[in-house]
């Protein structure tokens, strides 16, 4: 059979011949069971749409085998399991594929460059071949599973060229893409060897979704400058002989679901314990993955400046910093771990008392069910990344607050969330003194102002929640197909 016949798939049509309900096929680096709210993030966001269509979630199994099938790199075993009406399909990676695709290129090149850290990128010429090899592997394993009317939605920087690899196999499906991390300006993108190949792959999708208007501007500037794209209006572009829709779709949270978690037993127990144990303190909280993009050393220096400049915070302000482990096989993360531990120890040594430790630092993951209680017990949240695609901790903190006595969000202007949440106290995390002043303002903020800011922030989080995010992108994808083909578009 030809490419198109293989790409149309072996699974046939939807049950009962119902072709009005296209199946959603999600592709991401890692796969989660959408029935488990503890999975958080993407699983919570996509559960409704996957369940409604009996969808498929495809990605890496998380398993690294020393040798690929047949001893050939780029050939991984496929596993299938059911999660209610959703099918989870995963592929193993060989050690060589993992090292090149995941560690070498995705996290050694794309992650630092997309977060504006060219100095940390390792432009090893071999890694890009592994990145392409695994994307080809994903395409080969996924294409036979697709039904003719499936809608495919690819996620994040690990899989930028997957759309073009599927197209090469003859897939004519509606394929959308969403980048969860920032997209840097054209000049920074151009520092990546092979950036033209990478961005051509990004333009193979019918819809390209980005986190912020700034990211969208960077994308459109790039395709205009490097590919002479034609602006068709309303976010549509003609580029590389294709028409695509590009838009800013800031990801949200399920506000109602998170509010319900706040009232659940584990969160309530956490809230009660924190209020009891820190009854004489004003709590600040930071919850981050241990990553150089999160600005954790800069945050600690700002907190140290707060203690130095404002004696009224002594024996009062207590920062609870959770830094969950992240990619600890990469040297840059070991360096930042040591720097963070040194700063925390220095602050506690210089300012701590027998009955007060300014920083409570934890290098481990805290269960998602407990976080709402921690957020609610805290007067201030510090969300101060040096660069971030969105940062959902900011939105979770807002959703967890008591509207009658809410805490204050201190937010980096370099987080994607800052575009949506101007009522937060916006800071430049590189400005140690300015950030310290903003933290002090947050600790001293009167109730009426806290209530007013929180009400506005919560309204935004509710209006642009995760359901809005999903429906907006999927609607754009369906409409983009209709515009390209001239056929009526179908609702999920």
Catalytic residues: 180, 388
The Cα 352–Cα 126 span in angstroms is: 49
> Residue 60, Cα to own-chain centre: how many angstroms?
17
| Tokens (6 digits) for 193 | 């060897």
β-pairing, 207-210 with 174-178?
parallel
| Tokens (6 digits) for 378 | 């805290």
Phi (first) and psi of residue 327, to 5 degrees: 50, 50
Q: Which residue has the tokens 């959408």?
A: 34
> Residue 387, Cα to own-chain centre: how many angstroms?
12
Q: Which one, of 253, 243, 291, 237, lies nearest residue 114 by Cα? A: 291
DSSP assignment letter at 10: S
The Cα diameter of the chain in Å comes to: 76
Rg, Å, the chain Cα set: 23
Q: What is the 3-state secondary structure (H, E, C) of 204-258?
A: CCCEEEECCHHHHHHHHHHHHHHHCCEEEECCEEEECCEEEEEEECCCCCCHHHH
Q: Quick one: which H or E segment has residue 64?
A: strand 56-65
| Tokens (6 digits) for 227 | 């590919």
């Amino acid at each position: 059979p030809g490419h198109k016949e293989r790409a149309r798939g072996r699974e046939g049509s939807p049950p009962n011949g119902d072709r009005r309900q296209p199946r959603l096929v999600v592709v991401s680096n890692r796969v989660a069971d959408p029935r488990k709210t503890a999975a958080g993030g993407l699983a919570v966001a996509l559960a409704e749409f996957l369940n409604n269509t009996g969808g498929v979630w495809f990605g890496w199994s998380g398993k690294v085998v020393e040798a690929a099938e047949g001893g050939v790199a780029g050939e991984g075993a496929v596993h299938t399991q059911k999660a209610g009406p959703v099918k989870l399909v995963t592929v193993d990676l060989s050690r060589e594929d993992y090292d090149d695709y995941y560690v070498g290129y995705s996290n050694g090149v794309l992650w630092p460059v997309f977060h504006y850290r060219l100095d940390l990128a390792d432009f090893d010429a071999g890694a890009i071949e592994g990145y392409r090899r695994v994307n080809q592997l994903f395409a080969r394993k996924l294409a036979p599973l697709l039904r003719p009317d499936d809608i495919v939605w690819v996620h994040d920087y690990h899989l930028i060229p997957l759309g073009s690899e599927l197209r090469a196999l003859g897939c004519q499906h509606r394929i959308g893409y969403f980048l969860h991390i920032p997209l840097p300006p054209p000049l920074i993108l151009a520092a990546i060897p092979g950036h033209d190949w990478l961005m051509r792959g990004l333009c193979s999708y019918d819809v390209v979704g980005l986190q912020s208007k700034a990211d969208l501007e960077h994308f459109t500037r790039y395709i205009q400058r490097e590919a002479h794209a034609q602006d068709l209006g309303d976010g549509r572009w003609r580029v590389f002989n294709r028409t695509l829709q590009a838009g800013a779709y800031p990801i949200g949270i399920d506000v109602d679901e998170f509010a319900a978690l706040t009232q659940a037993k584990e969160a309530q127990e956490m809230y009660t314990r924190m209020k009891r144990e820190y009854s004489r303190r004003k709590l600040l909280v930071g919850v981050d993955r241990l990553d150089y993009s999160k600005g954790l050393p800069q945050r600690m220096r700002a907190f140290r400046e707060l203690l130095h400049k404002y004696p009224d915070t002594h024996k009062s302000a207590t920062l609870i910093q959770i830094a969950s482990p992240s990619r600890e096989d990469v040297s840059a993360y070991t360096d930042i771990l040591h720097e963070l531990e040194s700063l925390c120890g220095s602050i506690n040594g210089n300012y701590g008392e027998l009955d007060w430790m300014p920083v409570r630092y934890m290098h481990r993951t805290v269960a998602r069910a407990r976080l709402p209680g921690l957020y609610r017990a805290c007067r201030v949240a510090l969300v101060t990344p040096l660069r971030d695609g969105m940062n959902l901790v900011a939105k979770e903190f807002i959703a967890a607050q008591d509207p009658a006595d809410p805490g204050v969000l201190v937010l980096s202007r370099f987080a994607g969330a800052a575009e949506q949440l101007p009522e937060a106290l916006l800071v430049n995390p590189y400005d140690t003194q300015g950030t310290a002043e903003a933290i002090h303002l947050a600790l001293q903020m009167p109730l009426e102002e806290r209530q007013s800011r929180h009400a506005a922030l919560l309204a935004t989080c509710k209006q642009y929640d995760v359901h809005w995010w999903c429906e907006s992108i999927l609607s754009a994808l369906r409409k983009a197909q209709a515009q390209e083909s001239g056929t009526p578009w179908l609702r999920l």
